Amino acid sequence: MKAAPFAYVRPTRLEDAVNELAGSDGGGKVLAGGQSLVPVLAMRLARPEKLVDITTVEGLDQLRSTGDSLEVAAMVRQRRVEHDRATDSVPLLRMALPWVGHRELRSRGTVCGSLAHADPAAEIPAVAACLNARITLTSPRGTRQVPAREFFTGAMTTALGSEDILTAIRFPVATDGEGFGFAEIARRHGDFALAGVAVRVAVSGERVREATLTAFGVSDRPVTRDVSTELASAVSASGQDGVRLAARLPEPLADIAQGMVDTDGDAHGSRDYRRRLFVTLSGRELAKAHDRALRGINGDNP
Amino acid sequence: MNTVTDPSEPPTGDGGGRGQRSTARVEDPALLCGRGRFLDDLDPLPGTLTAAIVRSPHPHARLRSVHLERARAHPGVAAVIGPEEVTAALHPFPLSLKTPMPYYPTATDKTRFVGEPVAVVVASDRYVAEDAAELVEVDYEPLPAVVDTDKALDPGAPKLHEQAEGNVATDRTFHFGPVDETFDRADRVVTAEYEFPRYSSTPMECYSVVAEWHDEVDGPAITAWANFHGPFSMVPVLAGALGVPTSRVRLHVPADNGGSFGIKAGIYPYVALLALASRHAGRPVRWTEDRIEHLLASSAGSDRSMRFEAAVSDDGRIEALRADLVDNVGAYLRPPEPSTLYRCFGNITGAYRIGAVQIRSRAVVSNKTPTGLNRGFGGQQLYFGLERLIDTIAHARGIDAAELRRRNFVQADEFPYSTPTGGIYDSGDYPQAFEKVLENADYTALRQRQREARERGEYFGIGMASVVDPSATNIGYVGLATPAENRPPGRGKSGSTEHVRVSVDLNGVVSVLLGTVPQGQGHATVAQQIVAEQLGLQRDQVRPVVEMDTATTPWTVSSGSYSSRFAPLLTSALVEAAERLAVTVRLAGATMLDADPEELELADGRVRVRDDPERAVAFRHAAGLVHWDPGSLPEGASARLYEEAAFTPPESKAANQNDQINSSLCYGFVAELVVCRIEPDTREITLEHVSTVHDPGTILNETLLEGQIHGALAHAIGGALYEEMRYSESGQPTSATFMDYLCPTAAETTYALDSDHVQTPSPVTRLGAKGSGEGSSMSLPVAIANAVSDALAPHGIEITSLPLHGNVIHQLLTEEIPATEGIH
């Protein structure tokens, strides 16, 4: 478990980092927190010619609110986001972060690194997709923004080009009338999920305005569905009663599961079992998110 | 916890009282401060090079050619060896059986499992070695593979070893007592089939070897360091492959070994391989196994397919048993296999009075990694069958599972109890321990809670296991794989001896040389405590030294840290050695006090007159006299202040001509009860409560006992709920990283536990102690299976294999419950 030879650069300016990556003719790889890349290198499953270490690039350690969004730059570690007060403005992100690996991994791992790695069972990509956060890519030709739902194109595959550095992500800040939910089931605490859901519900008064459901661990990428209709009809049938709502949701969700959960499954979870987990979790979290939206509370999971 | 003592309590230092028996471990400060010295921290031979191993990506393939030239030409490479060098210099490892399944440390003609070594590259460092390893060109001709036990048994299955008749490496059937007659007249026959999975213990430190080959005028000699812990019966196996007597292999084991639980017994083939690599490199060679290599190709407990039949009376008494056991030992019959089949031979009837037994024992080879020792060795496999069977019988007869056990237990007044297979259970009180676990768990109330939970449609299960916990293996059981008529007289094998050296220095400080090769169990702590107690000293006047150097440390073929040998055997040897030292110290004291040595005792750090304790001299002065002034001793006295002892229990005899054997010296007992719930929607299993009662004979140190119990329980939870070495049908491992091979962490091993003990001292060890490091590794997997089975019983579901988790429960329930019931 020793990496094959590679060249290593550690620029301090973004412009240099971009040029180093672009100058490697597709043989370069960006190193940030290293929690996924380094084991892959050690197992010689990846053999980049050049590693562009961005840990010392000026300006990439910013975590800041910009009015309607929370911007997390490329070198911001997950654990910092988990504990920074600024994250209060994006409750779904706060709910999801404790589920990312273990504390030790979050101390090194970055939010943007998780997005670039794009494991289909990872939490942060699901949060980004659910909120349709905007991802900033920087190349020698400048920067561009890609909506998260378009960013993930397959298993461990994204819209990142060989000359792109994922420099930041902007999560939309929650507004009044929004409620969120997040849950996952894994064999062990800290493992990638067998199935997980990120949920956003928006209400106007008592009316369901919008409901978004993102599932992860169940397909080759995070999958997002608008479930406004399903939630609205379940709400009206259950007469605003949370317990009855949770009991009503599984039926429409079971139909949705047929389409959203398309993984082949493995020894840890068959496709059918993952569908069951998806239905269970999304029913519970939709009901919770709806309740939170109505009550204007988005604290930790009760 | 009922009996745990706070390990942070300061030692009372009362020079021998019970207060010492729950002290913190003397090993821990160094380990906790990062000052442990494991083999990778040591540089015992200057100029050592580093090796990387080229391994087969195929489960079964003929080696058409192996080209090493490009790798040899790589800058920084000192040597590259492959099958040609191996077969030129080494013999196949001598097997426990005559079965023609030659086993070398690399593939020679074919590769037989994914991860099997094919070549070794020796270079300046591991990076260069791995770079060059990629330049080794192997032309493989893939062959059909077989991994499934039943399929491997099929005469038409791909054959692993051409010279053998098939894949069955051993097939023996044993009869004890009137088996057929009892079955013929039985009220009822209950039959069941079970599968036990293959899993490991995943020690934190993987295999590590430093080896050097010397060509001396009278033949080769090997010096090696390895984190090997025994059984030292593997030393002659290693020497056999090298073609030298055991004294020409000098093996050192570092004092710190980062866990093994039996798994590191599989390291010895690498010692031979790295020694040979060193011969070609002309320098000593180091190899440190990485985690990928470890999960792919080190070792695991064997997977077992088993079928049981029980002849049962109407009132639930088991009168006879038939067991058909098939162990899947992987690609080779790597010694000490097929011992998984025989380790529990003497206790194959468990805690029950069963008069007649038939056993068919088979080991079959397949395209998986070879198996070996794993904490509980053979016990978790056996008891998974036996204790599931007990519950199946209880269910079939409509008798409560606890009541059925009561009706079949060996009773307290029957010890020593002879089992039909030759076991001599030394001591015990199974009903007492079992009632204690039921009482601690409040069994009656639990059944009531279960009735209520079931009325609410919940899954609530109660499972138990009551197992005999064998310790201090009698290596004679290895002989059983060979039919009695082929076991030549005068060439028998037996014994579970243990050796120790104790000495007293010029200041009266006692050194204890421990060649027990611990892997973290705390041997030094207990050795210090026991010698201090025996000699009436403060603990800090005893200095335990952990060292194994086969050239200087006392050892023999049965040595090593395995089968929970320390508590029953080593402590007995310590008592014997301390008693002999005490004679000399008393003699010196008698000289100083002008008293009769027979009147004297050792206590409070002094040699004193028993009936007049004020007449005393310090232990250190008496010891000092022996060193400084031996001329003052009575004429003919020996000024000897070092003693070696070899505790040699006469109860460990070779197998007799009827194939009976007392396969262990001691037999402890574990009663366990598990309460579990299954979440109806996610179908996840939760352990709500575990109650355990151990009878380890005399408890030597309660803190260490609890530590062993916690560890064994965690190991068992891994096997029952998380871990499995899986293979695809084509023979590729599918759990070869920690992403897929799931070891329970602190988060998964946090559950409500009460642990309690009874003590029935062993009459065959000096302190009455038995081993207790493996009991719950044997009992908890099946107790969990029994609990889950009980939770699902209303749906007619029986658990017949492990591991159990949401996906498995989902599959079982989906097959049973109509889809309309769907999701709650």
Chain A residues whose beta carbon lies within 8 Å of the beta carbon of residue B130: 2, 4, 44
- Provide the token pair at A234: 């379940």
pLDDT in tens, B263-319: 999 999 999 999 999 999 999 999 999 999 999 999 999 999 999 999 999 999 999
Residue B17 banded pLDDT, cuts 50, 70, 90: very low
Count interface pairs A-B at CB distance under 8 A: 73
pLDDT over 70 percentage in chain B: 96
At B240, give phi and psi (nearest 5°).
-60, -40
Q: Give A212's contacts (C-beta < 8 A, 6+ positions apart).
A: A130, A199, A200, A201, A224, A225, A226, A227
Q: Tell me, what's the pLDDT at A241?
A: 84
Q: Using a CB cutoff of 8 Å and minimum separation of 24, what contacts does B520-523 make?
A: B520/B27, B520/B257, B520/B258, B520/B259, B521/B561, B521/B566, B521/B704, B521/B708, B521/B773, B522/B25, B522/B27, B522/B701, B522/B704, B522/B707, B523/B561, B523/B566, B523/B570
Best mutation target among B53, B815, B823 (most A Cβ atoms within 10 Å) is B823
Query: For residue A265, what is the DSSP state?
Result: B
Judged against a pLDDT cut of 70, whether residue B247 lies above it is answered with yes
Phi-psi region for residue B427, left (φ > 0), alpha (ψ -120 to 50) or beta? beta
The distance of A144 to chain B (nearest Cα, Å) reads 35
CB A212, CB A224: distance < 8 Å = yes
Per-residue tokens: A50: 């050049």
> B823–A276: do the CB atoms touch at under 8 Å?
yes
Q: What is the pLDDT of residues A78-112, one digit of tens each?
A: 999 999 999 999 999 999 999 999 999 999 999 99
Closest CA to B78 of B116, B129, B34: B129
Q: What is the mean pLDDT of residues B446-463?
A: 98
Whether the CB-CB separation of B91 and B329 falls below 8 Å is answered with no
Residue of A nearest to B132 (CA): A4
Contacts of residue B330, Cβ cutoff 8 Å, sequence gap at least 6? B113, B302, B365, B366, B368, B369, B370, B371
Mean pLDDT (chain A, rounded): 95
Beta bridge partners of residue B643, listed in sequence order: B502
The topology (CATH level 3) of A178-295 is Enolase-like; domain 1 (3.30.390)
What integer is the mean pLDDT of B196-224?
Answer: 97
Q: Which of A3, A43, A188 sits opposite B747 (nearest CB)?
A: A188
B14, pLDDT greater than 60: no
Beta strand pairing call for A195-204 and A207-216: antiparallel
Give the distance from residue B755's alpha carbon to the nearest chain A alpha carbon, in angstroms. Answer: 25
What pLDDT is stored for residue B245 in this prediction?
97
Q: Does domain A7-53 have CATH number 3.30.450.90?
A: no
Of all residues in chain B, the percent with pLDDT exceeding 90 is 93
d(CA A36, nearest CA chain B) in Å: 12
Mutate to test the interface with A, among B126, B289, B681 (most CBs of A within 10 A): B681
Backbone dihedral angles phi then psi of residue B153, each to the nearest 5 degrees? -75, -25
Distance from the Cα of A100 to chain B's closest Cα (Å) equals: 14
- Residues of chain A contacting B53 with CB distance shorter than 8 Å: none
Nearest to B395 by CA among B810, B816, B792, B811: B792
Contact check, Cβ <8 Å, A188/B722 = yes
Nearest to A177 by CA among A218, A154, A209: A209
Report pLDDT for B22: 67
Give contacts of B55 with chain A, Cβ < 8 Å: none
Nearest beta carbon to residue B131 from set A4, A267, A276: A4
| Contact between A267 and B735 using a beta-carbon 8 Å cutoff | yes
Q: B735-751, pLDDT tens digit by residue?
A: 999 999 999 999 999 99
A chain contacts of residue B748, beta-carbon cutoff 8 Å = 188-189
> Among A189, A254, A270, whose Cβ lies nearest the Cβ of B811?
A270
Chain B residues with CB-CB distance to A280 below 8 A: 681-682, 823
Q: Using CB atoms, which residue from B130, B291, B742 is nearest to A187? A: B742
B32 dihedral zone (left: phi>0; alpha: psi -120 to 50; beta): alpha
Which chain A residue's Cα is nearest to B746?
A189
Interface test with A, best of B807, B813, B817 (most A CBs within 10 A): B807
Contact between chains at B130 and A2 (C-beta distance less than 8 A) = yes
Radius of gyration of chain A, Cα coordinates, nearest whole angstrom: 20
Give the mean pLDDT of B29-51. 96
What is the model's pLDDT at position B495? 86
pLDDT of residue A83: 96
Average pLDDT (B156-176) is 97
Give me the mean pLDDT over the A23-44 stretch. Answer: 95
CA distances from residue B394 to A31, B389, B436, B812 in whole angstroms, order as listed: 60, 8, 21, 22
- Given a cut of 60, whether residue B385 has pLDDT beyond it is yes
- List residues in chain A touching B: CB distance below 8 A: 1-5, 43-44, 185, 187-192, 194, 250, 254, 266-270, 272-273, 276-277, 279-280
Query: Does the fold of domain B498-647 match that of domain B378-474+662-821?
Result: yes
Q: What's the pLDDT tens digit per position in B405-422? A: 999 999 999 999 999 999
Q: What is the structure's pLDDT at B21?
A: 65
Between strands B318-328 and B137-142, the pairing is unpaired
The H-assigned helical ranges of B248-356 are 268-281, 291-297
Smallest CA–CA separation between A63 and chain B, in Å?
31
> Is residue B227 within 8 Å of B205, Cβ to Cβ?
yes
| Contacts with B734 from chain A: Cβ below 8 Å | 266-267
pLDDT-derived band at B609 (thresholds 50, 70, 90) equals very high
* pLDDT per residue as tens digits for the range B663-704: 999 999 999 999 999 999 999 999 999 999 999 999 999 999
Of B147 and B496, more confident = B147
Average pLDDT over residues B232-243: 96
DSSP single-letter state for residue B420 = T
Interface touch B806/A5, C-beta < 8 Å: no
Helices (H), B11-122: 28-32, 69-73, 83-89
CA end-to-end span of chain B: 36
Report pLDDT digits (tens) over B514-567. 999 999 999 999 999 999 999 999 999 999 999 999 999 999 999 999 999 999
Domain A63-172, classified CATH 3.30.300.30, yes or no: no
* Nearest Cα residue in chain B from A254: B823
Neighbours of B478 (CB within 10 A): 25
Cβ contacts of A250 on chain B, cutoff 8 Å:
822-823
User: What tens digit of pLDDT does each residue of A117-149 get?
Assistant: 999 999 999 999 999 999 999 999 999 999 999
pLDDT band at B817 (very low <50, low <70, confident <90, very high): low
Residue A243, pLDDT score: 86
Rounded to a whole number of angstroms, the distance from the CA of A133 to the nearest CA of chain B is: 29
Look at residue B492 in the predicted model and tell me its pLDDT: 86
CB B112 within 8 A of CB B160: yes
Q: Where are chain A's structural domains?
A: 7-53, 63-172, 178-295
* pLDDT > 50? residue B580: yes
Name chain A contacts of B806, Cβ cutoff 8 Å: 185, 194, 269, 273, 277
Which residues of chain B make contact with A254, given a CB cutoff of 8 A?
822-823
CB atoms within 10 A of CB A210: 17
A271 Cβ partners below 8 Å, 6+ apart?
A: A261, A262, A263, A264, A265
Q: Which residues of B touch A8 (CB under 8 A)?
A: none
In whole angstroms, what is the distance from residue A228 CA to residue A256 CA? 13
Q: Between chains, do B806 and A270 touch, taking CB under 8 Å as contact?
A: no
Question: What is the average pLDDT score of chain B?
Answer: 95
**Which residues of chain A have a CB within 8 Å of the CB of B823?**
250, 254, 276, 279-280
CA-nearest residue of chain B to A248? Answer: B824
> Residues A138-187: pLDDT tens digits?
999 999 999 999 999 999 999 999 999 999 999 999 999 999 999 999 99
pLDDT higher than 50, residue B10: no
CB–CB contact B747 A277 (8 Å): no
- CA A65, A70, A74, A80 dihedral sign is positive
Interface of chain B toward chain A, CB-CB under 8 angstroms: 126-127, 130-131, 290-292, 681-684, 722, 724, 726, 734-735, 739-740, 742, 744-745, 747-748, 805-807, 810-811, 814, 822-823
The pair of three-digit structure tokens given for residue B460, joined into one six-digit string: 């609530």
d(CA B352, CA A67): 74
Q: Which chain B residue is nearest to residue A268, measuring alpha carbons? A: B807
Q: Tell me, what DSSP letter sits at residue B17?
A: S
CA-based nearest residue to B533, from B696, B700, B759:
B700
Residue A15 burial by Cβ neighbours in a 10 Å radius (0-12, 13-18, 19+):
exposed
Rounded to whole angstroms, the Cα distance separating A129 from B378 reads: 50
b/e per residue, B551-575, with b = 16+ CB within 10 A?
A: eebbbbbbbbbbbbbbbbbbbbbbb
* CA count, 13 A, side-chain hemisphere, A292: 25
B378-474+662-821 CATH pick, 3.30.70.270, 3.30.365.10, 3.80.10.10, 3.30.420.40:
3.30.365.10
Contacts B678 to A, Cβ<8 Å? none
pLDDT grade for B631, boundaries at 50, 70 and 90 = very high
pLDDT for the residue B819: 46
> Got the DSSP string for B603-669?
ETTEEEETTEEEEEEEHHHHHHHHHH-GGGSPTT-----EEEEEE--TT-----TT-----EEEEEE
Q: How far apart are CA B266 and CA B330, in angstroms?
A: 13
Give yes or no for residue B820 having a pLDDT over 50.
no
CB contact under 8 A, A5 and B290: no
Identify the closest residue of chain B to A188 by CA–CA distance: B748
Tens of pLDDT, residues B336-376:
999 999 999 999 999 999 999 999 999 999 999 999 999 99
Q: What is the pLDDT of residue B804?
A: 98
Q: What is the SS3 assignment for B738?
A: coil
Q: What average pLDDT score do residues B163-189 get?
A: 97
In chain A, the residue whose alpha carbon lies closest to the alpha carbon of B821 is: A251
**Confidence at residue B478, expressed as pLDDT on a 0 to 100 scale:** 87
pLDDT of A297: 82
Inter-chain touch A269–B806, beta carbons under 8 Å: yes
Per the model's pLDDT, the better-predicted residue between B2 and B732 turns out to be: B732
Predicted local distance difference test score (pLDDT) of residue B23? 72
Residue A214's pLDDT band (boundaries 50, 70, 90)?
A: very high
Per-residue model confidence (pLDDT) at position B669: 98
Residue range B40-61: mean pLDDT, rounded: 97
Across the interface, whether the CB atoms of B682 and A192 are under 8 A apart is answered no
Amino acid (1-letter code) at residue A191: D
Q: What backbone torsions phi and psi does residue A215 show, to the nearest 5 degrees?
A: -110, 145
The residues spanned by each domain of chain B are: 378-474+662-821, 498-647
- Please calculate the CA angle A80-A84-A85 and round it to the nearest 5 degrees: 170
DSSP B697: B
- Give the pLDDT score at A299: 59
Please tell me the distance in Å from B265's CA to the nearest CA on chain A.
23
B206-230 as b/e: b if 16+ CB within 10 A: bbbbbbbbeeeeeebbbbbbbbbbb
- A7-53 and A178-295: same fold? no
Confidence of residue B1 (pLDDT cuts 50, 70, 90): very low
pLDDT band of B15, cuts 50, 70, 90 = very low
Kindly state the DSSP code that residue B165 receives in the 8-state scheme: S
CA distance B78 to chain A (A): 19
Q: Residue B491 — pLDDT band, cuts 50, 70, 90?
A: confident
Class of domain B498-647: alpha beta
Where is pLDDT greater, at B816 or B484? B484
A73, two tokens: 């730059």
CA B356 – CA B183 distance, rounded (Å): 10
Q: What is the pLDDT of residue B6?
A: 42
Give how far A210 is from chain B: nearest CA, Å. Answer: 26
